[in-house]
Structures are given as C-alpha cells and as structure tokens.
Amino acid sequence: MFKKEPLRILFVILALIAAWYICRTIILPNIDARIEFENKTLSGQQEPPYQYRLLKPLIGKMMETAVFTILGDVRWAHVISYAFLSFLTFLGIFTTFHAYLSRDFSASTALIGTLLLMAVLPLSASGYYMEGDYITLLFYIAGLILIRQGKDAYLPAIIGIGALNREQIVFLLVWYLLHQKTLTGRRVFWALMGFTVWLAVFFGVRMYFGFKPSPYTSALHVANNTDFANLFILILPLWFSNVAGFVVMSLMAFRKSNLFYTVVSPKNGIEP
C-alpha cells in the first residue's frame, strides 16, 4: 500500500508538470489575446456562451491584481496568476481523482488511473483561454465523491459554483439520480435544490449581462460533429484515446462490485 506522503509529493510534481505544459503551450503564446478575452468577459462585451463563464476570469483577475502590485507588469501578472491557478486546479484534480478511484480499486490501480489521466490531459488542451474546462473537471470529480459519500447537502453548492464556470455542471445531477437505488424524498429534495441553484445562476448571469444569442447553435454542433473529416480524424480518435482506458477500468470495478453478483429473486428480493 502506498504511503500518503509520497503520494502527495507525486501529485504536486504532476500538477507542476501539467501547469507548466499549459503555461508553455497556451498561456505564454497568447498573453495579449487572453488579457483581451478576460477584460471583454468581465466588462460584458464577450460573446456567449463565454460571456457567462465568469468563475475563472474573476479568480484570475483577483490574482492578477495582487501579483501586479508586486511586479508592476500586467503581462507577467497574467502569466504567473494563471499558471498558479492551473497548478492548484491540477493538484485538486489528481488528488480527488485518486481518492475517487481508491474507493473501487486497489492502491496500485488507483495510482495507474491517476497517471493515465495525467497522460491524456495534453490531448484536451485546445484554445487559448480554455483552462476553465479543467476547473469543471475538478467540480465533477468533487461532486462524484460527495455522491458516493452520501453528502447530498453539499451538491447545491458544487452545482452553484460550478455553474459560474460552465453550465454543463448540471449533468452532475443526472449522475446523482442514476446513482440512487431508491429515490427517497430527501434525495429528490436535494436534486431539486441543486437544479434550483443551477437555474438561479444560469438566469442570474444572463439577466446581469443580458440575453445574447449564441453563434454556437445546436445545428452548428451537429454539423461539425457529423462532418466526416471531424468525426473520423479528430473526434473519435480523441475520445478513444481519452476514455478507452477508463471504460475498461470501470468495467473491471463493476465486475468486482456486489451489484454484479446479485440476482433478483421474486420470493426473497435481492440475494447473493
């Protein structure tokens, strides 16, 4: 069994590597475009849906302000702030993902799964201001852990904060409902609370900045995703390389679970 202290050191090293990769490939080559993107978002001049994804630029701006008072350079304040934010995000991702895997896998398998996640991260690095996707991943993993631990009361907070980053966090409620063997009144209550909080954030930011038509329509997404070149050259290889290993590991965990070895008896209910 792996000791906790070496694991913490390993996760710090992995987070440093991932943050440096993001800094070198995304942040440093696009400093001016990123600063403009951030300013347009916070001033209400950005196009949707990016206009409504406020969490990362808000945190980044606060960190930039603090760093700028020390360095006095706007561009380097941006680089240092977002590199550090990326480091904290990746550290949270690797730590929580390993904790989540440890619930169903051996220590060695959980570690391999975490390293696999680290290996596929470069494949998802696209766009010059996309690190918010990793923040969403962190919220998803944290939410899944809370679901597994039965800490339903924390879900609305995860949903609300996550919705400020990307509205897709609402799908965490789908996983929450699918995870339940029985939908008790308490579970339905927290699901409704989570959805209510999501609606409040979703419409709240749109009322503040105004409801703007998005150029990224459903028809555009369907057309791009069904285009032969995109589908077979870009999309499917990317998805396969990202999720294939985790699908295999999930099937392995499912086979070892009690659910896999139970049958339904009309007379006695569920029995081994």
Mean pLDDT of 31-40: 96
pLDDT of residue 111: 92
**What's the confidence (pLDDT) of residue 269?**
41
DSSP letters spanning the chain: ---HHHHHHHHHHHHHHHHHHHIIIIIGGGHHHHHHHHHHHHTT-SPTTGGG--HHHHHHHHHHHHHHHHH--HHHHHHHHHHHHHHHHHHHHHHHHHHHHTTTS-HHHHHHHHHHHHHHGGGG--STT-THHHHHHHHHHHHHHHHHHT-GGGHHHHHHHHHTT-GGGGHHHHHHHHH-SS--HHHHHHHHHHHHHHHHHHHHHHHHH-----SS-HHHHHHHHHSHHIIIIIIHHHHHHHHHHHHHHHHHHHHHSGGGG-EEETTTEEE-
State pLDDT tens for residues 235-272.
788 777 777 777 776 777 666 655 544 444 444 443 33
Report the percent of the chain where pLDDT is more than 90.
60
pLDDT in tens, 199-212: 999 999 999 999 88
User: Given this model, what pLDDT does residue 265 score?
Assistant: 41
Whether pLDDT at 224 is above 50: yes
Q: Is the pLDDT of residue 88 over 80?
A: yes
Res 113: pLDDT: 86
Check pLDDT > 50 for residue 71: yes
Q: Which pTM does this prediction carry?
A: 0.85
Would you say residue 83 has pLDDT above 90? yes
Q: What digits encode the pLDDT tens for the residues 114-167? A: 998 898 887 788 889 999 999 999 999 999 999 989 899 999 999 999 999 999
The average pLDDT across 46-70 equals 95
